[in-house]
Amino acid sequence: MNNHIKLFIPGPVEVSEKTFKAFCSPMIGHRSESFKELYRSIHPRLQQLFGTRQPVFLSTSSAWGVMEGAVRNLVRGRVLNCMCGAFSDKWNDVSLRLGKNTCRLQVEWGEPIRPEQLDEKLASGQFDAVTIIHNETSTGVLNPLSDLCAVAKKYPETLLIVDTVSSFSVLPINMDELGIDVLLTGSQKALALPPGLALFSVSERAFQRALEIPDRGYYFDFLEFKKNQEADMTPSTPSISHIYALRSKLDDIFAEGVENRYARHATLNTMVHDWVRRHGFEFFAPEGYRSLSLTCVKNNRGIDTVKLNKLLKENHHMIIDGGYGKIKGTTFRISNMGDETPESITALLNALDDCLARL
Ligand SMILES: *Cc1c(COP(=O)(O)O)cnc(C)c1O
């Protein structure tokens, strides 16, 4: 672990020694009593974090598996994709590749999805489901989730699929209260686990919908997950290592206190924002819609971000992200997810100061 390059990119993020130790626990059979105990031991805490009384499932895949699976399980005919950045745009492409009839609510990268825009689209036709990304990681935009959910509630035939891959455990998200039908997240962002596990929960009416859909496939069949979870198991052999690591992470989260965790992320995010302002940079996302997990900085000073990152890596053994897709170079991103602390973010910002001075 010593001398590795510490990741301040928005996923994967740094994984702690404690988590790695848990990840390396000895194997157990996935149909054994020990496995069932393991799943049982984490399930109530997962429900609490999801804000749901519904079952929480563990998928051995990255988040995209469940993002694709949600469309497959819930959409017969039309799906509306809310698109405001690389990940949400791709969800439309994935829906098309599944042969679904898709409709696009596209806004400029850097802009949030506004509730009135969603209302207008949903009113324009019948949709089986709508896909929303809470925190669009590519642009650093935090969409106004509770307002969007309130709009979606007006259309009971349209099920609500929400990706919280980079916001889960950073701020409170209450699935049942918000009326979300599929809430999904991944392991390598704010949970600071190695990549390869996705977590999700499904509402009762989404299970009812899945029953009506014949070609759900097998690996991501929500009804298979439901049946197996009732016996404290997963449909196929899961990454047991990830589940051990997840248990260790849940111990950490509840030892810190969930509210304290949210407050810590807000504090760290503010520290990065102060640094951005201090150096005369601007934000890519408008005020009021900025991510609490990461900061997408507008490179209005026109610095050489490739060189900045090279200096950071060589001199300080850290890296940030040089911007995603079409906004590479014109933006850069700094993550404050996972186990970071005021001390570690201060160390990063000091290192960035040093590198900026050498550009
Ligand atoms: C990282 C990310 C994904 C994709 O996760 P994978 O682990 O690559 O499948 C999806 N949505 C958001 C918002 C993300 O940040």
The 10s digit of each residue's pLDDT in 123-159 is 998 999 999 999 999 999 999 999 999 999 999 999 9
pLDDT of residue 318: 98
Domain boundary among 203, 227, 254: 254
Please provide the average confidence, as pLDDT, over all residues in the chain: 97
How far, in Å, CA of 19 to CA of 54, rounded? 27
Cα diameter, the chain: 61
> What digits encode the pLDDT tens for the residues 246-280?
999 999 999 999 999 999 999 999 999 999 999 99
Q: Do both 197 and 338 map to the same domain? A: no
- What's the one-letter identity of residue 76? R
Q: For 76-94, b where at least 16 C-beta lie within 10 A, e where not — what string? A: eebbbbbbbbbbbbbbbeb
Same domain, 273 and 354: yes
Domain residues for 345? 6-13+257-358
Residue 174's identity, in one-letter code, is N
User: For the segment 303-358, what is each residue's pLDDT rounded down to a tens digit?
Assistant: 999 999 999 999 999 999 999 999 999 999 999 999 999 999 999 999 999 999 99
The whole-number pLDDT of residue 222 equals 98
Average pLDDT over residues 30-56: 98
Q: Quote the ligand 1 centre to 33 CA distance (angstroms).
A: 32
The verdict on residue 1 lying in a domain is: no
> Do 176 and 295 lie in a common domain?
no
Whether residues 298 and 171 fall in one domain: no
**Residue nearest atom 2 in ligand 1 by C-alpha distance:** 165
Average pLDDT over residues 22-37: 98
98, 139: one domain: yes
How far away, in angstroms, is 358 Cα from ligand 1 center?
33
Neighbours of 187 (CB within 10 A): 26
Pick the last residue of a domain from 208, 234, 254: 254
Do residues 115 and 233 share a domain? yes
Residue 12: asked if its preceding bond is cis (omega within 30°), the reply is: yes
Say if 129 falls within a structural domain: yes
Residue 178: inside a domain: yes
| CATH code where residue 210 lies | 3.40.640.10
Q: How many domains does the chain have?
A: 2
Q: Is residue 344 part of a domain?
A: yes
Measuring CA to CA, how many Å separate 101 from each of 81, 182, 221, 265?
11, 20, 20, 39
Boundary of a domain, candidates 189, 221, 254: 254
Answer yes or no: is pLDDT of 205 > 80. Answer: yes
2: confidence class by pLDDT, cuts 50, 70, 90: low
Ligand 1 centre distance from Cα of residue 325 (Å): 14
Q: Give the per-residue pLDDT at 1.
A: 55
Please give the full DSSP string across 130-189, using - where no structure is assigned. EEEESEETTTTEE--HHHHHHHHTT-TTSEEEEE-TTTBTTB---HHHHT-SEEEEESSS
